[in-house]
Amino acid sequence: MAVRVRMAPSPTGLLHIGNVRTALFNWLYARHEGGEFRLRIENTDTSREVAEAVDHIQESLRWLGLDWDGPHTFQLDRMDDCRRVAAQLVADGKAYEDEGAIRFRMPDEGSTGWDDVVRGRVEIPNETIEDLVLVRSDGRPTYNFASPLEDVWDGITHVIRGEDHISNTPKQINIIRATGAELPIYAHVPNVAGADGKKLSKRHGAVTVAEFRRDGYLPEALLNFLALLGWAPDGETTIMDRDELVRRFELARVSPSPAQFDYAKLDWLNGMYLRGLSPQELGHRLVIWLGENGYDWDAELVARTAPLVQEKISRLAEFPDFAGFFFGDVEPDVTDLDGGGPMLAATEEALGSLEPFDAATIESALRGKADELGLKARQAFQPIRVAITGSKVSPGLFESIELLGRETTLSRIRAARDAAG
């Protein structure tokens, strides 16, 4: 039988990165095996909030490149089917009515076990499993009833999900067996934890796909990073594109140990991906990110700045602070200009009629002025950098001056001289 897996999020808000990592493992396994990856929304109502959450879920998956097979489905659409199965279980003596609800008769003796692809053999004593409510008194089926039935109806061959579902598995196995259906294979992957070892949450930093997108991470870098949370092909390879991830992914190599989300490592990896882009592609990504985040900056100028920032930033969101001086006025800190008056004056003189006005000629002229004044490079160039960028840290100074142009550069040099007195 061909592999068929699923992602079954609850539409309660923005998509958590831990759920995405588990979805990625499902997607990678399906694509590696030539199977199918299904998207099922585990909802019990059709409110506007649910509709918005479903849109967010789909948009997040599309942004990451996690395509699903067939139309997405809703748990709500199978409620009548669940109620019919519950009534049949009551008729068969496998369930009973209890204060308007329907409960499943769990076995009292022995144990319920399964061979978990990630964790090995798992056995749960049946005496620890309570009789499960299948249908509430208001007629709504419970998660632990609807979810395994849908896995059966959808032909799911492998249920790959987080370890927090281990306690649900024996309940769901007994329900599936009671209906006479075939069990799927189970694989419970480790939770994603923060640096403190606790389950990843907002106290650690960004936790939703929307937040990581807003913070300027590339989808391919985030995907690569998430794939390595609990899985590794060889313990050495770090950077892998989608095709390589699909080719090398093996479910059996997923570790049962908790996976730690290292934000610093993600920044490093994202920086590597940024530097691997062509300057043209980086410019394109920057223009898109700026537009999504409310910056109405000239797209052509953004593209021209891309080569200047490519080696300096690790996330697209760092671009406005790092290169914003190209797109608006600056207000340098006067204390950073202290002692820079002579060099600023010399710069104004050197650049006034310099031709050609390009980075190489600008550098040669300004180094000559620094030598005349007996200044080391840092002493000479810091006041110029602060004057034209408003910061001690910026893209290449001479390239920045060329891109800003003579008029803007000289205007800022004069303003800095006046401010410094």
Give pLDDT, residue 408.
97
Secondary structure tally for the chain: helices H, strands E: 17, 12
Give pLDDT, residue 11.
85
Choose among 284, 92, 66: nearest CA to 177: 92
Choose among 408, 333, 317: nearest CA to 400: 408
The two structure tokens encoding residue 26? 């499902």
Of the candidates 94, 171, 202, 265, the residue annotated as catalytic is: 202
Whether residue 228 contacts residue 238, with contact meaning beta carbons closer than 8 Å, is answered with yes
Give pLDDT, residue 219.
98
How does pLDDT run across 293-339, given as a tens digit for each residue?
Answer: 999 999 999 999 999 999 999 999 999 999 999 999 998 888 888 78
Give pLDDT, residue 354.
96
High-pLDDT (> 90) share of the chain, %:
85
Do you find a cis peptide bond into 184, omega within 30 degrees of 0?
Answer: no
Give pLDDT, residue 76.
86
Q: Establish whether 202 is a catalytic residue.
A: yes
pLDDT lower than 70: segments of the chain: 44-49, 421
How far is residue 187's CA from residue 158's CA, in Å, rounded to a whole number?
A: 7
Q: Which residues contact 357 (CB under 8 A, 6 or more apart)?
A: 351, 402, 405, 406
Q: Which domains does the chain have, with CATH numbers?
A: 4-71+192-268 (3.40.50.620), 75-189 (3.40.50.620), 277-326 (1.10.8), 334-420 (1.10.10.350)
Q: What is the DSSP string of 170-233?
A: HHHHHHHHHTTPPPPEEEEEPPEE-TTSSBP-GGGS--BHHHHHHTT--HHHHHHHHHTSSB-S
Choose among 399, 405, 401, 416: nearest CA to 331: 416
How does pLDDT run across 186-245, given as a tens digit for each residue?
Answer: 999 999 988 888 888 777 877 899 999 999 999 999 999 999 999 999 878 899 999 999
Q: What pTM, to 2 d.p., does this model score?
A: 0.92
User: End-to-end CA distance of the chain, in Å?
Assistant: 80
